[in-house]
Amino acid sequence: MTRRLISILIVDDEPLARQRLRMLLDKHRELITIGECCDGVQAVDTILTQKPDLVFLDVQMPELNGFEVLGLIGVERIPAVIFVTAYDQYAVRAFEVNAVDYLLKPFDRARFESAFMRALREIELRDMSGGKKSIDALLTTLQKDHRLPDRILAKAAGRISILHIEQIDWIESAGNYVKLHVGKETHLVRETMAQMERRLNSARFARIHRTAIVNMERIKELRPHFHGDYQVILDTGVKLALSRRYRNRLGSLIGGRE
């Protein structure tokens, strides 16, 4: 049994389902703190900011389903997960993506306790080892079976925006954040450039500089610059530097200009 407090997040769009989980968790109150979300967008924001140890995650929800929530969070921040679903096919998939366990609605206290105890053991193992193997396996399977996420969440002034990744013109490094440039708008996201690069489809997006990733469909022109560098001009008129270190990312485009 873990000795520290375990923080738990309940994510379900049905109030009665959230109430049921709260009741079952009551006897473990000395071990946990509980938060709740009623949709996937709120869940992503809460997981990223509150960093719960364990999430009871519904699969079927408006806007973002449970699998999309995990895809948007990113591999380094996926907590232990128990999927909650009313559909057998999703219960099977929960095991396929290395979730701790699943609860098939309706479930009784014994089934809940079994899943919860497994989750506590998993958290204990993560505390000792970092739990990277199970997390890496989870995201690898998600990406294999469900493709890379096609949306990203950005938060500004207390408002959460859902952006389609294909809308992004280019991405700029800003310390521990990145700036997403979408037309005349910019959106700040708490991600490193390396984390963002792993999220993106390499057939569409390319790292062209230590501080920039570009949507290749937005490239209008490449101009030779100093010392083997190039200037990348987007269809919005923005000019970016392509450094020699990243020239191979746009190899086919450069080849046609040399």
161-172 per-position pLDDT tens digit: 778 888 999 999
Kindly state the average pLDDT of the residues 113-126.
Answer: 88
- In three-state secondary structure terms, 207 is strand
What pLDDT, on the 0 to 100 scale, is given for residue 102? 83
Contacts (Cβ under 8 Å, ≥6 apart) of 66: 11, 40, 57, 58, 59, 60, 83, 85, 90
Token pair for residue 192? 């490193």
> Residue 99 and residue 114: Cα distance in Å, rounded?
14
- In three-state secondary structure terms, 236 is coil
What pLDDT, on the 0 to 100 scale, is given for residue 7? 93
> Residue 31 and residue 33: Cα distance in Å, rounded?
7
- DSSP one-letter code for 157: T
What pLDDT, on the 0 to 100 scale, is given for residue 125? 82
Could you tell me the CATH superfamily of domain 151-255? LytTr DNA-binding domain (2.40.50.1020)
- In three-state secondary structure terms, 169 is coil
If one compares 233 and 3, the residue with the highest pLDDT of the two is 233
Contacts (Cβ under 8 Å, ≥6 apart) of 53: 6, 7, 8, 79, 80, 123
Residue range 52-106, pLDDT digits in tens: 999 999 988 887 888 888 877 866 678 889 999 887 665 555 555 567 888 888 8
What pLDDT, on the 0 to 100 scale, is given for residue 18? 94
What pLDDT, on the 0 to 100 scale, is given for residue 156? 63
Per-domain residue ranges for the chain?
6-146, 151-255
Return the half-sphere exposure (C-beta side, CA atoms, 13 A cut-off) of residue 110. Answer: 0
What pLDDT, on the 0 to 100 scale, is given for residue 168? 94
What pLDDT, on the 0 to 100 scale, is given for residue 257? 45
**Least confident piece of the model among 14-23, 28-37, 51-60, 221-230:** 221-230
What does pLDDT average to over the chain? 81
If one compares 117 and 228, the residue with the highest pLDDT of the two is 117
User: Can 6-146 and 151-255 be said to share one CATH topology?
Assistant: no
Residue range 177-207, pLDDT digits in tens: 899 999 988 888 878 898 888 878 888 899 9
Residue range 205-258, pLDDT digits in tens: 999 999 999 999 999 998 887 776 789 999 999 999 998 888 887 765 655 444
- From residue 80, give the alpha-carbon distance in Å to each of 13, 119, 121, 177: 20, 7, 10, 25
What pLDDT, on the 0 to 100 scale, is given for residue 137? 56
pLDDT greater than 50 at residue 108: yes
What pLDDT, on the 0 to 100 scale, is given for residue 111? 93
Is 6-146 CATH 3.30.1360.30? no
